[in-house]
Structure 1
């Protein structure tokens, strides 16, 4: 494989995690750059192979310089994706903002890799939103053995689901409220509070599981790290718990646990060998199964899966 010139376009915390997993991978990286779609603070900098990574302002970037762009931005920034793709480089849209575009595949590694054959239509491939990736990985092994007719999911979203800045806000609000200092009247309350989070992921899910009926409820919770989901999946057939456990145990991306919490998960995982989608509290219900899933949404659902997807793309081309 030729040396790859790769650009990361994401917030600082995620850029660091992507660079870490890229360094651990077997990809032959010639040069890594950061495109500052979210400007870094003066003291923030990313290192790769013990060298500082160059940071490029969006107005100065030449997308044609790169073989691949790992993009984790908002819909309003999608013009950067279009410009990069038109320049000939492969764009991995890490949050699925382009999922509704015809001809753009939505791929979760190991689940529907065959869709990568459609990549060259637009030079864009979507890794779904972390909520969707976690759902898909949790259901794919199960669906190999049992057809599902309905899935009901409650997602508990941590502060890190949004950004490192949101984590900092939660830390500050928690400290202030514990010390009896009230928040400003117009300040969104994150600490000691929950709120609904509205987003429609039906297009992303339908591109992977076209006929699956999924009901998803998303709730913002006062947790710093770790995306947790309670999943109830129903079939027309009785489900054998041992078959389900065996399917999960054979999946390299999944670890079965007796108990796991989002916070512990975020604190303990640092590299490719330990980062997993954790499944626990697995039990059979009438014509169905219930379980609890936890993943570090930045390390696993974004950084790890994006680098895994990148490797699959360029291994196909080599």
Structure 2
């Protein structure tokens, strides 16, 4: 018996990836409904290789017969419709930022803190973390288990797909414009993104950090350990898909490179690709369509008593969004926290 599932924001990049991932991983479904705003009603989206779904209106949809809903429509829309779905008895897995820091909503990366799922029933909502946070905590968890992490300094190199389909179109159009000597006019970003990098993701906060940088710090503490100090610099780069991060970790006690290598090789969700030679590392382009968080360039950080540095990459639409959400649903199913309803 399968679950009746709704995918909200089904016409967006993440929504389409959720439908693709549900089908590829053969998640037990009896029915899948694609939902979006009224302007998308009637559009068709793919579910697997053979099924095509017609998009229905989110505003008019009754969630009473739906057991699981994957939300990725934007925070303002989730704020209205996720509680409505949850009140109807549907378990919501929300990919937006709206509920992440609410104390009674679990913020979950299954490889890291699947045990937190048992608390979902208070609100019937589970939050998917920020894409940049997800890949970092997957890599940090096995290291934290060896020697507690004191501090993380991270610089991100985030692809434009993290800002949506229009942002991907802007990179494409600006790149083409530059080759024919046309102006690269920014609309989705504050400055031209083609052949450029922009040290600004989300709104600026009073203390000078951006909201994206704040999210990485706050979410890491909620998921992994409230005592970890995190400072992030988040940068948008002219890459279509795939986020990369340069991570410097200070530990409370000794940890060797050999210990870190062994832990990372055994950890779920991680592929260690670290040859100290030309090309012996993974780039964002190579992560596209892959499930893993790739770790490369692992080395000792000699500037602190107990430090390591590494490079990690992941497909931000997949592990950074859709796959993590589906893995949450799989964990709910495996732990029997949610069961298909008969009838």
Q: Normalising by the residue count of structure 2, what TM-score does the alignment of the two structures yield?
A: 0.85
Please name the residue that 2:172 is paired with. Answer: 171
Please name the residue that 2:236 is paired with. Answer: 220
Preserved CA contact (<8 Å) 1:111 1:137: yes
Q: How does 1:140-219 map to 2 (within 5 A)?
A: 140-184=141-185, 188=189, 189-195=192-198, 196-197=200-201, 198-199=210-211, 200-201=214-215, 202-208=217-223, 209-219=225-235
SS of residue paired to 1:106: coil
Preserved CA contact (<8 Å) 1:12 1:44: no
Query: How big is the shift at 1:233?
Result: 0.1
Please name the residue that 1:21 is paired with. Answer: 21
1:19/1:7 Cα in 2 relative to 1: closer, same or farther (>3 Å)?
A: same
Please name the residue that 2:126 is paired with. Answer: 125
Query: How big is the shift at 1:241?
Result: 0.7
1:187/1:262 Cα in 2 relative to 1: closer, same or farther (>3 Å)?
A: closer
Query: How big is the shift at 1:26?
Result: 4.2
Q: How does 1:271-282 map to 2 (within 5 A)?
A: 274-282=290-298
Structure 1, unmatched stretches of 5+, are none
SS of residue paired to 1:216: strand
Structure 2, unmatched stretches of 5+, are 202-209, 274-279
Distance 2:292 2:332 in 1: 21
Distance 2:43 2:101 in 1: 37
Q: What is the root-mean-square deviation in Å for CA atoms of aligned residues?
A: 2.0
Preserved CA contact (<8 Å) 2:108 2:126: yes
SS of residue paired to 1:300: helix
Preserved CA contact (<8 Å) 1:239 1:284: no
Distance 2:154 2:171 in 1: 25
Identify the match of residue 298 of structure 1 among 292, 317, 320: 317
Query: How big is the shift at 1:92?
Result: 0.4
Distance 2:103 2:6 in 1: 25
SS of residue paired to 1:27: coil
Query: How big is the shift at 1:260?
Result: 1.2
1:37/1:291 Cα in 2 relative to 1: closer, same or farther (>3 Å)?
A: farther
SS of residue paired to 1:307: helix
Please name the residue that 2:287 is paired with. Answer: 265
Matched, 1:7 2:6: yes
Preserved CA contact (<8 Å) 2:245 2:311: yes
Query: How big is the shift at 1:185?
Result: 7.6
SS of residue paired to 2:326: helix
How many positions carry a matched residue from both structures?
311
